Amino acid sequence: MALLIENQLFPPVLSFALALSRGKLLIEACENYNKGSYRNKYAMMNSGGITRLSVPLNKGKNNSKPIKEITISYAENWQQNHLRTIQTNYGKSPFFEDYFPEIQRIYSIDFDFLFDFNLKVIALVVKLLNIDLAIDTTDVFQFTYPKNDSGIKDYRNMIVPKMDTCDYHFKPYPQVFEDRHGFIPNLSILDLLFCMGPESVLILKETYFKNTL
């Protein structure tokens, strides 16, 4: 069974945990853009708690516009700002030096479209996690999928910045600023990678929806 989600940027831990449990990640390519999601932002930990970085979009009415038509703005040097913030937050994490060069490389490319950038990011994360996870995109938009016989678990717009995580079990792992804020679940997969490295997969395998037990 494939996990279907919207096109996310450096997706949260839960997205990869649920996809890994199913063996395939299906990205919705025929939807309209919806702000207030992880489509152009991702969450990390810093000394003050949770911080979210956003990829700026070209001005215009992006909401309800086809996701593949959403273009990235380069009016400001957001790539350098993101890299600087990532380095500030995770420079002392155990596996920062192992993964940061790959992050730098993908940020050195000026993608025109947000959808393409996110797909490359997801492919990179799968490579860094060293997991066997097939990635595909939808060919047509469907409002709903049959629960039992479609082969697709529809999680579109369910893994969002303000979601209630109490229905899920998140395996705690040491985080950079845990001494100040305690363990914060479901941050960007970058948090898990920088903190746990090759053991990230073990954490993902112990993250699940409680009601499936």
pLDDT of residue 121: 98
**DSSP helix/strand/coil, 129:** helix
* Best CA proximity match to 129, nearest among 192, 39, 47: 192
Average pLDDT of span 89-98 = 98
Note the pLDDT tens digit of each residue in 32-41.
Answer: 999 889 999 9
Q: Report the mean per-residue pLDDT for the chain.
A: 95
Note the pLDDT tens digit of each residue in 148-178.
Answer: 667 999 999 999 999 999 999 999 999 999 9
Is the pLDDT confidence value at 212 over 60? no
Produce one character per residue of 102-125: b if its CB has 16 or more CB atoms within 10 Å, e if not.
ebeeebeeebeebbebbbebbebb
pLDDT of residue 127: 97
Q: Which distant-in-sequence residues (6+ apart) come within 8 Å of 3 by Cβ?
A: 15, 18, 19, 21, 22, 24, 25, 26, 152, 153, 155
The type of residue at 144 is T
Q: Classify residue 210 by its DSSP letter.
A: G
Nearest-angstrom CA–CA distance, 177 and 45: 7
Token couple for 88: 């500030």
Is the pLDDT confidence value at 53 over 90? yes
Q: What is the pTM for the complete model shown?
A: 0.95
Confidence of residue 27 (pLDDT cuts 50, 70, 90): very high
Q: Which distant-in-sequence residues (6+ apart) come within 8 Å of 176 by Cβ?
A: 45, 89, 90, 92, 93, 191, 194, 195
Confidence of residue 75 (pLDDT cuts 50, 70, 90): very high
Note the pLDDT tens digit of each residue in 117-130.
Answer: 999 999 999 999 99
Nearest-angstrom CA–CA distance, 195 and 209: 23
* Proportion of the chain above pLDDT 70, given as a percent: 98
Nearest-angstrom CA–CA distance, 87 and 84: 5
Q: What is the CA radius of gyration of the chain?
A: 17
pLDDT of residue 213: 42
Question: CA–CA distance from 34 to each of 25, 55, 179, 199 (Å)?
Answer: 20, 14, 35, 33
Tokens 């996990």 identify what position?
3
Instruction: Assess contact for 183 and 175: CB atoms under 8 A.
Output: yes
Average pLDDT of span 186-190 = 98
